[in-house]
């Protein structure tokens, strides 16, 4: 048997030295193997040549079968590699995430509740943020960092020196710029893999419906009741989930208003705006600088939960945070059957808005 193996090694080596193609060398080895098996079949048992070749064909048949299995396995792997390579270079089938994005979002992807499907939902989601001020600043930055694919931001204001105490998306050099322009610059600097749509204008009834229709989820960080009621009525009419936050001095609150999925709307909880002058503005009453960051980050968390379907969003609940005493509490919210905005809405199952 050793003689045959030595002969096979000589044939392979001579073929390599002379530049014989690999397939032809394999053919010569296969021919040698066939001659050995044939010799065992035609020569009588105990023949000297047969003894020199191992004495039995069984061992050579096993060896040949193992060689065929290895070659078939390698051929299969090579075929899979070629198919994978063809898909990789196919311009019609580009990967959803680049290698850099996979590294960037790795901490999300390893979370069981988000994973790859959740990160894909974030990339494909379209989120509109109303206001690029105190609440809008952390919301926009964290949505950009999380990899939300398309983020719209609407605000008609410009960056003022007094904003910089709490509106962390803006810088001193941005004073005088439209807030949406300053916010866009900061978001793309944080994550160039997203699309930012800035709208440097006030949200008005004549544009609200068309604007909201382009998005899956609405976040409201405005500081006046007229805009809040407009945002709520438009989002409810279009069946869009609305995440709303509010601030006052040391206290903040947020909730997910989503009548299309069984939760109350904003006007169920606040049927009427308070009388003028009853609720002082931040400029009049003051607001703790980090407070918008805390509440805005919570709003971004709720947005990610709504988009990915992770956990339980604050539908039908309001989270209230008291920074002065370090306390938080939740209160249950109920829909009002006589609500002029959502009173006729039927309940639906709780589903993620993008996936």
234-291 pLDDT, tens digit per residue, is 999 999 999 999 999 999 999 999 999 999 999 999 998 887 766 666 776 789 999 9
Same-domain pairing of 38 and 179: no
Mean pLDDT of the chain: 85
Count of the separate structural domains present in the chain: 2
Instruction: Please give the residue range of the domain that contains residue 25.
Output: 2-89
Does residue 344 sit within a domain?
no
- On whether residue 341 sits in a domain, the answer given is no
Q: Enumerate residues 6+ apart whose C-beta is below 8 A from 154.
A: 128, 129, 130, 131, 180, 198, 199, 201, 203, 211
Residue 252 lies in a domain: yes
Domain contains 179: yes
Instruction: Name the one residue in this structure whose structure tokens are 């397939």.
Output: 23
Determine the distance from the C-alpha atom of residue 66 to the mean position of all C-alpha atoms in its chain, rounded to a whole number: 46
In a domain, 137, yes or no: yes
If asked whether residues 204 and 75 sit together in one domain, one would say: no
Q: Tell me, yes or no, whether 76 and 124 share the same domain.
A: no
* 83 and 112 assigned to the same domain: no
Written as six digits, the tokens of 97 are 């995430």
Say whether both 153 and 226 belong to one domain: yes
The CA-CA-CA angle for residues 178, 181, 182, to 5°, reads 90
**Last residue of a domain, which of 67, 89, 111?**
89
Q: Do 80 and 151 fall into the same domain?
A: no
Residue 348 lies in a domain: no
Q: How far apart are CA 185 and CA 169, in angstroms?
A: 9
On whether residue 213 sits in a domain, the answer given is yes
Query: Is 106 in the same domain as 161?
Result: yes
**272 and 124 both lie in a single domain:** yes
Do 58 and 202 lie in a common domain?
A: no
* 59/120 same-domain check: no
Report the pLDDT value the prediction gives residue 298, as an integer from 0 to 100: 98
d(CA 167, CA 136): 8
CATH of the domain at 231: 3.40.50.720
Which residues of the chain carry a pLDDT beneath 70? 1-26, 29, 32-34, 36-40, 42-44, 46, 49-57, 59-60, 64, 77-93, 277-281, 284, 344-355
Same domain membership, residue 281 and residue 243? yes
- Secondary structure in 3-state letters for 128-158: EEECCCCCHHHHHHHHHHHCCCEEEEECCCE
Q: What is the dihedral of CA 164, 292, 158, 204, to 10 degrees?
A: -170
Q: What is the pLDDT at residue 35?
A: 72
160 shares its domain with 285: yes
Examine residue 349 and state whether it is found in any structural domain, yes or no.
no
Indicate yes or no: pTM above 0.75.
Answer: no
Residue where a domain terminates, one of 89, 118, 144: 89
Per-residue exposure over 8-22, b if at least 16 CB sit within 10 Å of its own CB, e if not: eeebbeebeeeeeee
What pLDDT, on a 0 to 100 scale, did the predictor assign at position 50? 61
């Amino acid at each position: 048997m050793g003689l045959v193996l030595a002969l096979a090694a000589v044939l392979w080596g001579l073929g390599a030295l002379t530049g014989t193609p690999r397939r032809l060398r394999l053919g010569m080895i296969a021919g040698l193997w066939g001659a050995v098996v044939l010799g065992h079949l035609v020569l009588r048992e105990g023949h000297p040549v047969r003894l020199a070749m191992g004495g039995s064909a069984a061992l050579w048949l096993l060896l040949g079968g193992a060689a065929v299995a290895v070659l078939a396995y390698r051929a299969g792997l090579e075929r899979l590699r070629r198919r994978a390579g063809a898909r990789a270079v196919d311009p019609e089938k580009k990967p959803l995430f680049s290698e850099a994005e996979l590294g960037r979002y790795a901490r999300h992807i390893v979370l069981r509740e988000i994973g790859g499907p959740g990160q894909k939902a974030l990339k494909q989601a379209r989120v509109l943020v109303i206001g690029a001020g105190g609440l809008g600043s952390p919301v926009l930055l964290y949505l950009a960092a999380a990899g939300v694919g398309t983020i719209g931001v609407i605000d008609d204001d410009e960056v003022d020196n007094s904003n910089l105490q709490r509106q962390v998306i803006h810088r001193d050099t941005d004073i005088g710029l439209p807030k949406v322009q300053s916010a866009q610059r900061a978001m793309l600097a944080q994550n160039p893999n997203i699309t930012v749509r800035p709208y440097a204008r006030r949200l008005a009834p004549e544009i609200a419906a068309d604007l909201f229709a382009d998005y899956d989820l609405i976040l409201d960080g405005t500081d006046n009741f007229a805009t809040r009621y407009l945002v709520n009525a438009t989002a409810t009419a279009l069946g869009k989930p609305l995440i709303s936050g509010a601030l006052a001095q040391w206290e903040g609150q947020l909730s997910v208003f989503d009548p299309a999925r069984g939760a109350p709307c904003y006007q169920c909880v606040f049927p009427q705006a308070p009388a003028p002058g009853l609720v002082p503005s931040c400029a009049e009453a003051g607001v703790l600088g980090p407070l918008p960051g805390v509440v805005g980050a919570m709003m971004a968390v709720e947005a990610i939960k709504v988009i990915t379907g992770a956990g339980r969003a604050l539908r039908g609940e309001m989270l209230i945070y008291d920074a002065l005493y370090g306390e938080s509490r939740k209160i249950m919210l109920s829909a009002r059957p006589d609500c002029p905005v959502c009173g006729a809405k039927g309940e639906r199952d709780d589903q993620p808005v993008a996936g």
